[in-house]
Structure 1
Amino acid sequence: MNMNMTIPGAVVKDVRASLPRHKTLKYGRRKLTDIRSAAMHHSATKSGSPEAFAGYHVNTNGWPGIAYHFVVQKDGTIYWCNDLEAISYHVGNSNRHALGICLVGDFRTQKPTLAQLDAAHRLIQHLQVQIPSMKQVLGHQEYPGYAWKDCPAFPMIKFRSDYSQFLQKAVDKVKTPIQVPVAISMNGSMLSVSGFLQEGVSMLPVRAVANAAGGKVEWIEQTMDVRVNGKDLNEKVISGSAYAPARELAAVLGIQVEWDDPNKIVKLRGV
């Protein structure tokens, strides 16, 4: 099955056709609905590549191909290594129901990079949307028969907690609030854009206001954050546009803000 592997904020490289494979052996196949969990691994090597892992698994272990479905490099690049339907060898008797994700590194002595963890979170989120049956995220050592194995050698309780926060942040960024429109003026001149009131807080369009005030706006793709003049904001992303609290935005832009309640106008001054 050809699945969409375009993951916002992540680089995915499909290497399924180029990795070393056994000349005669092939992995068994399953239905996507057979997949119940994502199995997290570390490579137990300080560096490495899908090609190197595949070569070892085929030539040394005699397996049909690389053990993992995905390999995540330290820079966050995700390599797609096996069809999701492939029953590859990575968690023994649980192989039929598990999808293998390997982060490159020996996490007995190293730590996963922030880029790796972010990429892993994005990958799992994407897969869980396309494979609803994949509800669990487990470490290798959490599968039956592997309690002895120190893999992935980073705390899975924290990984799952961080993943839950990642999911909540993604939901918060696309959630549409109840909007009461507000007008915006800059030094007495009305801007052509508007903001809205949310729970008593005036939310203003970040880029339009920053441009009017001469500020610098950056979109941080990996964390889905907006920065103005190098500072993070508590923004909401709605239909592709970022909105931030008026007073917070004014503070980073170095301008004054005043609220005209009767006319529902946010008045900005100081440019």
Structure 2
Amino acid sequence: MNMTIPGARVIDVRASLPRHKTLKYGRRKQTDIRSAAMHHSATKSGSPEAFAGYHVVTNGWPGIAYHFVIQKDGVIYWCNDPEAISYHVGNSNRHALGICLVGDFRTQEPTAAQLDAANRLIQHLQVQIPTMKQVFGHQEYPGYAWKNCPAFPMGKFRSDYSQYLQKAVDKVKTPIQVPVAISMNGSMLSVSGFLQEGVSMLPVRAVANAAGGKVEWIEQTKDVRVNGRDLNEKLISGSAYAPARELATALGLQIEWDQATKTVRMMKGSVSK
């Protein structure tokens, strides 16, 4: 699943969080997901590691309950595969994806950064998982009317999200960007690019770092250079993306395009023509 979200920072902690030694969450198809469930941690602070430890050690669950945790600074932590049927909304677990904002919103307010990140995350997930059409608060699921979670008005959240989504749609000036996977010397990178008007655009710094290239930012002209070579880059939310073949040339790499998997394969050697 592509988790490159423009304007948001996503940290993948799926492999590092505490897990139960023997128990594992069940699995589902992405098409089983019908809604995003919003939670608050009910703690004034916290981390995915702390929540996972509590859920595993104290509750005896297979792992952390949430699929995503959003810190107060807006950083999104990816905690479970969407396909994991984690424990967060009881009998609705099979069809819900859990998003937790850190904080006790009975006495605090979500930060602007958290709400912005939540909006960006939901918008991204609804593109990746088209069946996830609805957004509910924990207390709106059957059997949880008694629970004050996420403890902020979901009606207002959905209204604000609708306005946010409309603004995002209004800003779109380019064709739909199709996600592109990246392979470097046979290993898949954790980042992705996108197809735009038939051209594969790749994240410059991530690809250059993986290939051992040198990246320079020229402040005066707002340009990016790789190994001293200028690129026709595009800046998106502060990150530079460049055409795959230009980037490969600057890095001295061969490049192949796998149409079936939408993957750019880059390898050491002479650049193909």
Q: TM-score scaled by structure 1?
A: 0.64
The residue aligned with 1:155 is 153
Q: How big is the shift at 1:220?
A: 11
**Counterpart-to-counterpart distance in 1, 2:171 and 2:102:** 30
The residue aligned with 2:26 is 28
**Counterpart-to-counterpart distance in 2, 1:96 and 1:118:** 27
Q: How big is the shift at 1:24?
A: 0.2
* Matched-pair contact (CA < 8 Å) for 2:6–2:236: no
The residue aligned with 1:254 is none
The residue aligned with 1:238 is none
The residue aligned with 1:93 is 91
The residue aligned with 2:133 is 135
**Counterpart-to-counterpart distance in 1, 2:168 and 2:98:** 24
The residue aligned with 1:41 is 39
**Counterpart-to-counterpart distance in 2, 1:173 and 1:87:** 35
1:84 to 82, 87, 90: 82
Q: Do the aligned partners of residues 220 and 175 (structure 1) sit closer, same or farther apart at CA in structure 2, a change above 3 Å counting?
A: closer
Between structure 1 and structure 2, the one with the greater Rg is 1
* 1:33-64 deviations in Å (ceiling 9; x for gaps): 00000000000000000000000000000000
Q: Do the aligned partners of residues 17 and 160 (structure 1) sit closer, same or farther apart at CA in structure 2, a change above 3 Å counting?
A: same
| Residue aligned with 2:108, SS | coil
* Matched-pair contact (CA < 8 Å) for 2:51–2:64: yes
Q: Which runs of 5+ in 1 are unaligned?
A: 177-210, 212-218, 223-271
**Counterpart-to-counterpart distance in 2, 1:47 and 1:220:** 31
The residue aligned with 2:5 is 7
**Counterpart-to-counterpart distance in 1, 2:27 and 2:76:** 22
The residue aligned with 2:72 is 74
The residue aligned with 1:110 is 108
How many aligned positions are there?
179
Q: Do the aligned partners of residues 115 and 220 (structure 1) sit closer, same or farther apart at CA in structure 2, a change above 3 Å counting?
A: farther
| Residue aligned with 1:117, SS | helix
**Counterpart-to-counterpart distance in 1, 2:171 and 2:82:** 29
* 1:197-242 deviations in Å (ceiling 9; x for gaps): xxxxxxxxxxxxxx9xxxxxxx9959xxxxxxxxxxxxxxxxxxxx
AA matched with 2:98: G
1:63 to 61, 64, 89: 61
**Counterpart-to-counterpart distance in 2, 1:93 and 1:75:** 32
| Residue aligned with 2:37, SS | strand
**Counterpart-to-counterpart distance in 2, 1:175 and 1:148:** 45
Structure 1 outlier segments of 4+, above 4 Å: 219-222
AA matched with 1:15: V
**Counterpart-to-counterpart distance in 2, 1:107 and 1:175:** 37
Q: How big is the shift at 1:174?
A: 1.4
Q: TM-score scaled by structure 2?
A: 0.64
Q: Which runs of 5+ in 2 are unaligned?
A: 175-220, 222-234, 239-273
AA matched with 1:43: S
Q: Do the aligned partners of residues 141 and 6 (structure 1) sit closer, same or farther apart at CA in structure 2, a change above 3 Å counting?
A: same
| Residue aligned with 2:11, SS | strand
**Counterpart-to-counterpart distance in 1, 2:109 and 2:236:** 23
**Counterpart-to-counterpart distance in 1, 2:5 and 2:123:** 9
**Counterpart-to-counterpart distance in 1, 2:86 and 2:236:** 35
